[in-house]
Amino acid sequence: DAGITQSPRHKVTETGTPVTLRCHQTENHRYMYWYRQDPGHGLRLIHYSYGVKDTDKGEVSDGYSVSRSKTEDFLLTLESATSSQTSVYFCAIRGLGNTDTQYFGPGTRLTVL
């Protein structure tokens, strides 16, 4: 258990509204990641962070922004949600040690109507 929580776990919103998803970790991991998972596409990287205030884009970053003001929290914001952003969102952390093993949070199921 890497001590990762995500909130909310489920959310239904309407097109055009802003949405923020939160990922919280308790073990001081430096690297954190946001992925989305869709049928037929697998897990795709949205953004990642390599420290407080240090973030970078992933494969599918358009329409998303992130912030990391504290080590333990990594926020994903959809400024104006669209139906194409309906997905399951997973946060992950890079574990300690020599491998790059990632450990995932429980996920957030987001529906944009």
User: Residue 62, exposed/middle/buried by CB under 10 A (0-12, 13-18, 19+)?
Assistant: exposed
For other proteins, the closer CB: 56 or 79: 56
For other proteins, the closer CB: 13 or 43: 43
Closest approach, Cβ 49 to other proteins, in A, equals 8
The b-or-e profile of 13-41 (16+ CB within 10 A means b, else e) is beeeeebebebbbeeebebbbbbbeeeee
Q: Are 6 and 105 in contact (CB under 8 A)?
A: yes
Closest approach, Cβ 17 to other proteins, in A, equals 25
For other proteins, the closer CB: 25 or 94: 94
Name the residues that contact other proteins, by CB under 8 A: 31, 33, 35, 40-45, 48, 50, 56, 58, 90, 94, 99-107
